[in-house]
Amino acid sequence: MQKVLTDPQGTAFIAVSIPEGMAQDETNRLLMSLDRLNIPCHNLVVNMVVPPTNCGFCSLKRKGQQEYVNRFKREEKYSQYQIGELPLFPEKLKGMEDLTKIGTILYG
């Protein structure tokens, strides 16, 4: 199993975090562990980002989240990762159609 997980030609780990302080700390530990175990990881997805809105509460929540999103994007320790953002969706995502939607958001 270790041989499969550490083979960069066949395996890559995509880290997923949310824009919150504790989650960012947990993501740091995860990325350090992956590095220590030689498991390739070049992508980091920040999930559940509140989209721009006219709602006062939601705008405040987004503003707080953007501090963490920007930290992922500007800090040197994350510079080796391609960072993508996924918005907070109002419904649960499931099925191929939703996976296609996520792929389009992340990869165009």
pLDDT class of 106 with cuts at 50, 70, 90: very high
Range of the domain at 52: 2-107
| Mean pLDDT for the stretch of residues 58-74 | 96
Q: Which of 44, 63, 41 is nearest to 52 (CA)?
A: 63
CATH code of the domain covering residue 17: 3.40.50.300
The amino acid at residue 94 is: K
Work out how many domains the chain is built from and give that number.
1
State the pTM of this model: 0.89
